Structure 1
Amino acid sequence: MTQKVHVAGVGMIPFTKPGASASYIEMGAEAVRLALADAGAGYELIRQAYVGYVYGDSTAGQSALYEVGLSGIPIVNVNNNCSTGSTALYLARQAVESGVVDCALALGFEQMKPGALGTVWQDRPPIMGKGQAVADELCGDVRIPMALCHFGGAGREHMQRYGTKVETFAAIRAKASRHAANNPLAIFRKVVSTEDVMADQQIWPGVMTRLMACPPTCGAAAALLVSERFAKKHGLRTDVAILAQSMTTDTVSSFEPPSMIRMVGFDMARAAAREVYEQAGVGPEDIRVAELHDCFAHNELLTYEALDFCSEGGAEKFVSDGDNTYGGAVVTNPSGGLLSKGHPLGATGLAQCYELTHQLRGTADRRQVEGATLALQHNLGLGGACVVTLYGRNG
């Protein structure tokens, strides 16, 4: 028997630059306290917890949660690259939906170092071997950090295939800054123009400037998931529900034939989104607000197409028509997204959940998307995994 899963409470702390944050223990514990306060629930109600982080030792989840309570519950530590937060959410949702428990916590945090992401373990084979082979073949002409090469290479492929202009990526970054200006939890709230983005430091000439890449940041976010019967018993809110969710990993098409667009998760995202639409009986035309994994402006553009917000090759027109912001078809990343809000890897998916929960409650303040009854979340990790979640407003 499956149970309907409700988001009873969400919590998020302001994201900060590396070196300026509290410890992961303090950040994680505070996000949980905020989620519990939002739900009006005590820690003793939680029956299972799933804690996501990428850069940390094996039981860091326990270290954070022990500051909130010592109840003896199962605590599962989760690491799935940049999709870690949504993977924790996915597991918590499964636990409640299946009836194994009636109340589960998903927590994500990250205490990051400055600079581009890199490999921690140097004494063993690296991850993403299949993807890196594609990158070596198609982007062997550039010498920049791995993530910049992968997503920049995908953007360059879109430019070569469809004639997309680099200014379109700059316009996406400028849009993110306008949205983030209304988000007190975002790390960068300064509004920049398309021209400002284009004039910034060149990372890959003709393909990417520094402002088109998300910054490494520290932070934490959490969500409390409950069944409907549990919510009624304890007087918890049921105004936001998870209507559908899908998690996918790579298939042969991610790597053969070689394509940077496919290698950075396009097919994973498309498969997950279409499964979610089918589960919920809705289509992309029904979505009015979405939080997308915009680790680079290039990936946000690709994701418009992967989620069927527009046709393949149609993303530039989608941007130029203003269909990615207020007054358009789908308000994408009203929070400011990873580009402006920041990207503490383990927290990102749950920060997206935080934003969309408030959007559906109607409590997003100046970021509010009017009339939103459905909200879509896309969280991607290379290596790889993609989680797409559809939330709906009850009543």
Structure 2
Amino acid sequence: MDRAGFASDPGRARGRLVPEEESSFRSCFQRDRDRIIHASAFRRLKHKTQVFVEHEGDSYRTRLTHSIEVAQVARTIAGALGLNPELTEAVALAHDLGHTPFGHTGEDALHALMKPYGGFDHNAQAIRIVTKLERHYAEFDGCNLTWECLEGIAKHNGPVVGELPWALAECNQGYDLELNTHASAEAQVAALSDDIAYNNHDLFDGLRAGLFSDDDIQQLPIIDACFGKVDRRYPGLDPYRRRHEALRRVFGVMVSDVIDTSRALIASSGAQSVEDIRNLGYPVIQFSDGLWAQLKQIRAFLFSRMYRAPSVMQVRIKVSKVVEELFPIYLADPKQMPGHWHGDIEAAADETALARIVSDYIAGMTDRFALQDHARLTGDHSIAI
């Protein structure tokens, strides 16, 4: 389909930090997407927690399956709005690259440990991965992504104001991402697609885990109407098919609302270019006020019944201990890290630089590797999850 005037145009991209010859058969944004898919950090997402620790069950989402679902939603919305699908997809696929093992629990633990050294932020870590830590190419560190893709990863949740996470500040010194403005509409789509994906799949995973029932969620807005539509069309349907049919309709409600609301916001804004979108001062990709109020009720339910469920909290305590005990071991004896990290260790100017290398290493671990390494280094095999 034809692209809108406010879409990001690969022919007008601002380029890469290290100039490269353009491909004859892929746009620059396609190459960004492909490099993200082939990144080691992307592959490791298959063994990183979304909500449940990766090996608690084969059917639960991991960071990898979550990222793929976000990209699918994002590409659909981008197509409906006339945006660039490849840039949208690239930002969506990259948005969780910086996550630690054990999801937000691991991030909270690592941030607390890193407070004396500048803290830890998974979004800034994603930037560090694609600009520094992926080391596969002959001519540069990282993936040498376009400015637009880096901007999208850094700002998909909105302008970054106040004191910057150190990893983002380091990147921004050499490649100004204009952090005080909103990102492109493509990056904004990736952010809302993240909300859509986890609102939907966390309901699926919570039901599968037995943390709540179909009857429980039928009391929630949006969901009640979707179950009603299924029951009227398919009376007596098998419970599992009934659940799937209802929740896929919840998914559709969210996607349709974002498309309709955003289309109206863009039209009323008068934006004619991607620069207009960046400088409006507000995001143009949004849920309607009514749906957003309903989604907040669903989120509150998930918070109390899933994210803070006693069984989930017990696991959180265990995995926090893994991160909390690994960090000082590596900081005291960094040569315990694999040999390809030793060059960075020897070049570290001070304890802060060394702590950041240790943080990079731990953040890159998968759930299972962190558990195995903790058992190896501490001799404590009691943390069975």
Q: Which has the higher helix share?
A: 2
TM-score by length of structure 2 reads 0.25
TM-score by length of structure 1 reads 0.24
> Whose RCO is larger (CA < 8 A, sep 6+)?
1
